[in-house]
Chain A
Amino acid sequence: MKFGKGIYTSGKKSQSSLLVLVSVIAILGVAWVGNIFSQQTDLSRIIESAGLTKLVKFLDVLKGVSRNSLILSAHRGTFFVAGKGESYICNGPTPPAIDEIRFELTNASLDTLNSYVAHINFTEATLSFNMSNFTCVDFPMNDAALNSGIFDENFSVGAYGSVIQISSEENNASSKNSISEKITMNRFWFLYRKFRDWSYKMSLTDDVCNCLCPQNVCSGCVDASLESSRRLLEQTINDPEVECYVQKTCCHEEKVDYSGEYYSSCVEWPEAPCAVCSLDRHSDICTEKTPFSSIHEQQIENQSNESNIEVTNESSSSALGSGNYKEARGTVKATFSCIDKKYQLSLPAGSRNLLFSVDATVFLRTLCPEEPPVVSPLFPKTSPLFPKTSPLFPKTDPLFPKTSSPLFPKTSSPLFPKTSSPLFPKTDPLFPKTSSPLFPKTDPLFPKTSSPLFPKTSSPLFPKTSSPLFPKTSSPLFPKTSSPLFPKTDPLFPKTSSPLFPKTDPLFPKTAG
């Protein structure tokens, strides 16, 4: 029984052991399979997450490349627009408006930016991407912001319209590539503001007008005006890091017989050799790209409405139109450039200073009395002391001039300083106390120092050397050769015409009554 029982017991125990074993195996198997599934899910989730993260990070990298491309494009755009030589003076102030500048900046920067975009190329095999071109580069600016000066050294630029698509084996990502960047150390808007302000202050047009009849537009008169305009520009900018230059690129003058209707003052001379202003401007910012032709200069014709030059109609001035006139024509074109040495831009030729250049073009004509029957340039028609019109003596009192003239300048010039007039300085012209280019401190009649009118070794009355007013062999009172002010004949009783002493008695003209 024992044996049998023992066998029975042993068999039961064996069965239970097997059951335990099978149970353990089954439990482990289920756990294992469950774990495998669980881990598979986790793994795929982690891999997927890592893949997505990789795409997003790669997207950021692409945007980073775009941002730096935008910075370089903005540098290139500002440098191009600043150096383009836009016409800020075209017979008067014609600075481009802010939106016109923004349009030009957009066009100049957009092509560069898209060129960079075309060159973006990663060789990483697992990711492929596609970046579409930008459609707009915007330089936000308005009058209030510009005039406040907060964008003088830094300004914002944005680029829009591009889309990035990235795809890997498992994932795809797409994002608008709209970026904005702060352009630092670039004083484009500062210089634009200063040039714009200056264009309304400078008097080149008036100066050229006043130089026409004496026919010395290209022989010194305008040079002085250009130099004073340059100084005015530097004063307007008022920054020691900015240096300005002026270069006369074209000058022409002529005097022809005139038989048409009389007009006073100066009017445009569109046929002038230098009568070209680049004024083809657009202000439709960030629209579909339009053909841009402002690089090409446009012949200016019939733009009297844009000019600030007074055009007098015939009826109002015909009363003055008795006599022979010559038409004096003159044109001047100059480029004013300022270089900002404070900062440097990243440009193809290396880091360079911002150079801002603008063109100033003046092309005018006016009538000059050839042999005035009644009036002389010095003492014109109506009254010898209170002339109405004359190129040398404007409408105002010649003794107390209000308007600009070569002899009574409004603004300071090297030859005609602000506080004095060459003919009527503050102090006694014959015995001046203060220095004047024309009347230096020393005795004007017996000068010791050099002056444009009275050179060092000469006396105005007994000159030895040549002077603009008193040529070498002549004496102002007893001239032998011709002088602009004192022709050959007796200055007090002239026989030939002179701007100051015409044929007729200047003090008692025959027809003046």
Chain B
Amino acid sequence: MRSKGQSMELMEILIAVTGVCVLLIISYFLFGSRGSFLSEVVTESNKYDKMTDVVNEFYTSKIAGTQRTLSQLLADRIIAKNPVIYGKKFGNIDVDNQTAQFFNSYFGKNWRFEVKSVVYDVNATNQSSSEAINLGYRIPNNIRRLQTFEVLIPVPTIENEIWKGYLYVW
């Protein structure tokens, strides 16, 4: 009888331990999945912040030796051919190279920048686009997370067009 009691007690302890373990495992998965979701949100947010920071730099900081923003340089590059001629003072500027250097410094070799012209309809509601300038590296096929950011580039045309650039980062 003693051994039966003992075994019963052992059984109960075993059940209790098993129950605790099951609860721990369940809570781990519950908490863990939320945690990974949280970290994913934070990571995505940080990446987005970085991209927007880079794009803001693209708009505001002036490239050394040109006194123009990269957006301005690309706008002139869209109108003229590369390299763009900037007169006696600055000579010719290789805008493609300047752009590549700029994005390389932030994203290494994990970026691609495509500029597409936007042709506006008369009523300016519909628009069609065609590819114009491609810079950077090839996007890998099996990339898990590819972030895309739309970069608008005001271009000095008669219609005051704004072309669209797409910055891909992985």
Q: Is the CB of B154 within 8 A of A57?
A: no
- Complex Cα distance A423/B7, Å? 142
One of B120, B150, B154 near A124 (C-beta < 8 A): B150
- Complex Cα distance A17/B16, Å? 8
The interface stretch among A6-14, A243-251, A286-294, A392-400 is A6-14
Q: Confirm or deny: A149 has a beta carbon within 8 angstroms of a beta carbon on chain B.
A: no
- Complex Cα distance A65/B59, Å? 7
One of A9, A42, A115, A184 near B38 (C-beta < 8 A): A42
- Residues of chain A contacted by B158 (CB below 8 angstroms): 348
Using A120-B162, A344-B85 as known contacts, say yes or no to A24 and B79 having CB atoms under 8 A apart.
Answer: no
- Residues of chain A contacted by B24 (CB below 8 angstroms): 28
- Complex Cα distance A123/B150, Å? 8
Q: Confirm or deny: B138 has a beta carbon within 8 angstroms of a beta carbon on chain A.
A: no
The interface stretch among A43-51, A155-163, A320-328 is A43-51
Q: Confirm or deny: A151 has a beta carbon within 8 angstroms of a beta carbon on chain B.
A: no
Q: Is the CB of A72 within 8 A of B85?
A: no
Q: Confirm or deny: B132 has a beta carbon within 8 angstroms of a beta carbon on chain A.
A: no
Q: Is the CB of A119 within 8 A of B23?
A: no
- Complex Cα distance A6/B5, Å? 8
Q: Confirm or deny: A20 has a beta carbon within 8 angstroms of a beta carbon on chain B.
A: yes
- Residues of chain A contacted by B108 (CB below 8 angstroms): none
One of B37, B76, B89, B162 near A65 (C-beta < 8 A): B162
- Complex Cα distance A350/B85, Å? 9
One of B59, B156, B160 near A67 (C-beta < 8 A): B59
Q: Confirm or deny: A346 has a beta carbon within 8 angstroms of a beta carbon on chain B.
A: yes
- Residues of chain A contacted by B101 (CB below 8 angstroms): none
Interface string of A338-380 (1 = CB under 8 A from B): 0001111011101101000000000000000000000000000
Q: Confirm or deny: A68 has a beta carbon within 8 angstroms of a beta carbon on chain B.
A: yes
Q: For this complex, into which size category does the number of interface residues on chain B fall? A: 35 or more
Q: Is the CB of B9 within 8 A of A17?
A: yes
Interface string of A4-38 (1 = CB under 8 A from B): 00110110011001101100110011011001100
One of A53, A76, A122, A346 near B75 (C-beta < 8 A): A346
Q: Is the CB of A32 within 8 A of B41?
A: no
Q: Is the CB of B19 within 8 A of A21?
A: yes
Interface string of B16-57 (1 = CB under 8 A from A): 100110011001001100110110011011001100110110
Q: Confirm or deny: B114 has a beta carbon within 8 angstroms of a beta carbon on chain A.
A: no
Q: Confirm or deny: B139 has a beta carbon within 8 angstroms of a beta carbon on chain A.
A: no
Interface string of B125-158 (1 = CB under 8 A from A): 0010000000000000000000000101111111
Q: For this complex, into which size category does the number of interface residues on chain A fall? A: 35 or more
Q: Confirm or deny: A310 has a beta carbon within 8 angstroms of a beta carbon on chain B.
A: no
A109 shortest CB reach to chain B, Å: 11
CB-based nearest A residue for B158: A348
- Complex Cα distance A195/B77, Å? 33
- Residues of chain B contacted by A18 (CB below 8 angstroms): 12, 16
- Complex Cα distance A221/B97, Å? 56
- Residues of chain A contacted by B117 (CB below 8 angstroms): none
Q: Is the CB of A17 within 8 A of B13?
A: yes
CB-based nearest A residue for B125: A121
One of A20, A112, A121, A184 near B68 (C-beta < 8 A): A184
Q: Is the CB of B88 within 8 A of A39?
A: no
Interface string of A39-82 (1 = CB under 8 A from B): 10011001101100110011011001101110110011000000
Using A14-B9, A57-B48 as known contacts, say yes or no to A342 and B89 having CB atoms under 8 A apart.
Answer: yes
Q: Is the CB of A20 within 8 A of B16?
A: yes
- Complex Cα distance A170/B37, Å? 19
Q: Is the CB of A122 within 8 A of B152?
A: yes
Q: Is the CB of A68 within 8 A of B69?
A: yes
- Residues of chain B contacted by A39 (CB below 8 angstroms): 31, 34-35, 38
B95 shortest CB reach to chain A, Å: 11
Q: Confirm or deny: B1 has a beta carbon within 8 angstroms of a beta carbon on chain A.
A: yes
Using A28-B20, A39-B38 as known contacts, say yes or no to A75 and B156 having CB atoms under 8 A apart.
Answer: yes
Interface string of B62-73 (1 = CB under 8 A from A): 100001110110
Can you report 17 residue pairs joining A to B where beta carbons are below 8 Å apart? A14-B9, A17-B9, A31-B27, A46-B41, A53-B45, A61-B56, A68-B75, A72-B154, A72-B155, A72-B156, A121-B152, A184-B68, A341-B88, A342-B87, A343-B87, A346-B75, A351-B87
* 9 more CB-based (< 8 A) A-B contacts, given A13-B9, A28-B23, A348-B157: A6-B5, A28-B27, A35-B31, A43-B41, A64-B58, A65-B152, A65-B162, A185-B68, A347-B156
Ranked nearest first, the 6 interchain pairs of A and B with the lowest CB-CB distance are: A64-B59, A10-B5, A57-B52, A21-B16, A50-B45, A115-B160
Q: Which residues of A contact B (CB under 8 A)?
A: 3, 6-7, 9-10, 13-14, 17-18, 20-21, 24-25, 28-29, 31-32, 35-36, 39, 42-43, 46-47, 49-50, 53-54, 57-58, 60-61, 64-65, 67-69, 71-72, 75-76, 112, 115-116, 118-124, 184-185, 241, 341-344, 346-348, 350-351, 353
